Structure 1
Amino acid sequence: MKSNRVMIGAIAIAASAPRGIVSGVRADGSNATQLVQQLQQAFATFKDEHTRQLTELKAGINDPLQASKVEKINADIANLQAAIDAHNTKMAAMEMGAGGARPLKDREYSEAFQAHMRRGDAQAALSKGAADDGGYTSPIEWDRTITDKLVIVSPMRALCSVQSVGGTGYKKLVNLRGTTSGWVGETDARDETNTPKLGEQAYGWGEIYANPSATQQMLDDSEINLEQWLAGEVDVEFAYQEGKAFVSGDGTKKPRGLLTYAAGGANLHPLGGIEVIGSGAVGAITGDSILDLVYALPETFTGNAKFAMNRNTMLRIRKLKDSDGNYLWQPSLQAGQPSTLAGYAIADIPDMPGVAANALSIAFGDFKRAYKILDRVGVRVLRDPYTKKPYVMFYTTKRVGGGLENPECMKFMKIAAA
Structure 2
Amino acid sequence: MSDSNSRPVPAAALQAPETKAVTGEEATRRELDEMRAAFTAFREVNDERLAEIETRGAADVLTGDKLARIDAALDRQQQRLDTLALKAARPPRGEGADKANGAPDEHKSAFLAYMRKGREDGLRVLEQKSLSVGSDPDGGYLVPEETEAGILRRMASVSPIRAIAGNRQVSASVFKKPFSLAGPQSGWVAETAARPETGSPTLAELAFPTMELYAMPAATASLLDDAAVDVDAWIAEEVELAFAEQEGAAFVNGDGVNRPRGFLDYPSVAEASWSWGNLGHVATGLDGAFPAADPGDVLIDLVYALKAGYRQNARFVMNRRTQGAVRKMKDGEGNYLWQPPASVGAPATLMSFPVTEAEDMPDIATDAPAIAFGDFRRGYLVVDRAGVRILRDPYSAKPYVLFYTTKRVGGGMQDFDAIKLLAFSA
TM class, shorter-length: 0.7 to 0.9
Give how far 1:339 is off. Answer: 1.2
Query: Which of 105, 116, 134 pairs up with 1:107?
Result: 105
In structure 2, the partner of 1:330 is 339
Cα distance per residue 1:86-118 (max 9 Å; x no partner)? 344444x16x779x9999596222122112122
Cα distance per residue 1:155-178 (max 9 Å; x no partner)? 122111211101221111111126
Query: Which of 224, 249, 253 pairs up with 1:248?
Result: 253
Instruction: Give the letter aligned to residue 415 of structure 2.
Output: N
SS of alignment partner, residue 79 of structure 1:
helix
Matches within 5 A, 1:158-173: 158-173=163-178
Cα distance per residue 1:326-360 (max 9 Å; x no partner)? 22111222222221101101111121112122222
Matches within 5 A, 1:277-356: 277-285=282-290, 286-356=295-365
Give how far 1:72 is off. Answer: 1.9
Give how far 1:61 is off. Answer: 4.8
Query: Which of 49, 53, 68 pairs up with 2:49?
Result: 53
Instruction: Point out the more displaced range, 31-40 or 143-152.
Output: 31-40
In structure 1, the partner of 2:203 is 198
In structure 2, the partner of 1:380 is 389
Give how far 1:23 is off. Answer: 2.9
Give how far 1:217 is off. Answer: 5.8
Cα distance per residue 1:314-335 (max 9 Å; x no partner)? 1100011223332211122222
SS of alignment partner, residue 40 of structure 2:
helix
Give how far 1:401 is off. Answer: 0.9
TM-score after normalising by structure 1: 0.83
Cα distance per residue 1:6-65 (max 9 Å; x no partner)? xxxxxxxxxxxxxxx953256942143343333333323322322222222222353111
**Structure 1 residues 73 and 390, CA, compared in 2 at 3 Å: closer, same or farther?**
closer
In structure 2, the partner of 1:235 is 240
**Structure 1 residues 282 and 110, CA, compared in 2 at 3 Å: closer, same or farther?**
same
Q: Contact 1:204–1:256 (CA<8 Å) still a contact in 2? A: no
Note the residue ranges of structure 1 that are not aligned, 5 or more in a row: 1-20
Note the residue ranges of structure 2 that are not aligned, 5 or more in a row: 1-13
1:398 corresponds to 2:402:
no
Instruction: Point out the more displaced range, 120-129 or 371-380.
Output: 120-129
**Structure 1 residues 288 and 115, CA, compared in 2 at 3 Å: closer, same or farther?**
same
Question: Greater RCO between the two (CA within 8 Å, min separation 6)?
Answer: 1
SS of alignment partner, residue 354 of structure 2:
strand
Q: Contact 2:288–2:368 (CA<8 Å) still a contact in 1? A: no
Q: Contact 2:154–2:240 (CA<8 Å) still a contact in 1? A: yes
SS of alignment partner, residue 210 of structure 2:
strand
- Superposed CA RMSD in Å reads 3.1
In structure 2, the partner of 1:44 is 40
**Structure 1 residues 126 and 329, CA, compared in 2 at 3 Å: closer, same or farther?**
same
Q: Across the two proteins, how many residue pairs are aligned to each other?
A: 391
How far, CA to CA, are the matches of 1:103 and 1:297 in structure 2?
A: 48
Instruction: Give the letter aligned to residue 332 of structure 2.
Output: S
Q: Contact 1:205–1:251 (CA<8 Å) still a contact in 2? A: no
Query: Which of 56, 70, 90 pairs up with 2:67?
Result: 70
